[in-house]
Structure 1
């Protein structure tokens, strides 16, 4: 049987143990490549992908948000949201405000400096998306998203039980 592209990329002599293993390794390999490309882009602007994600969430919401709500919306789970917010605050990209009704709740607000930074990143970010998967047709992109969402459903339905 002919080797798969991934098998050749990884210089794996034996076939994968299952189609599921090959598919997951393909997802992980692709994710790693994409993550590295976006990490490189965001570093040019002094951000990590997680910091960019926080700022993107805040800009999209358009108003201050509780820190735990931001954490729940992150693309990648961040174990230490407080440290991440500390670094963004040190860069003057977010401000913190304690809730007056419940002192345990901290609201995070995006600053004008962060909005200006995001505006600079918007076009290079879109361009990188196009570079990475712009060669796929609209139908292929929809199908890819559908299949990835379907693959996650076994986890999301199991975790809500």
Structure 2
């Protein structure tokens, strides 16, 4: 008779217990990796309620006080301040980032350097969309400037 045959069956670990322990270990690893989800903000971080503090007719100096220095400036039929941002997240530390939101806030000034329009551009259904006026900009000088901005921030 061997030693193993003398061991009482009640002292042997149950096969089901080993499977349960393995499943719990896998679940714990998945939960710990899920807790590693990270969010990233690149570019301009807009203060809460900033656009509401900029009325039509406000001066460029007022805009600079509220919004800070723009990411870039352009001249269309007056000056335009662009504030560019992108949000991304990564579900697990070793996975690539996935872009969740891209925005270009545009503040348009007239020849007297007063605000005449605000726009908050983002992508909706793959097209550039203004979330303030709820419209898609048409072709022209404005689109020729916005399209490269979105392509630039899409590949970062």
What TM-score results when the alignment is normalised by the length of structure 2?
0.26
Larger Rg belongs to: 2
**The structure with more helix, counted as a fraction of residues:** 1
**The structure with more strand, counted as a fraction of residues:** 2
What TM-score results when the alignment is normalised by the length of structure 1?
0.25
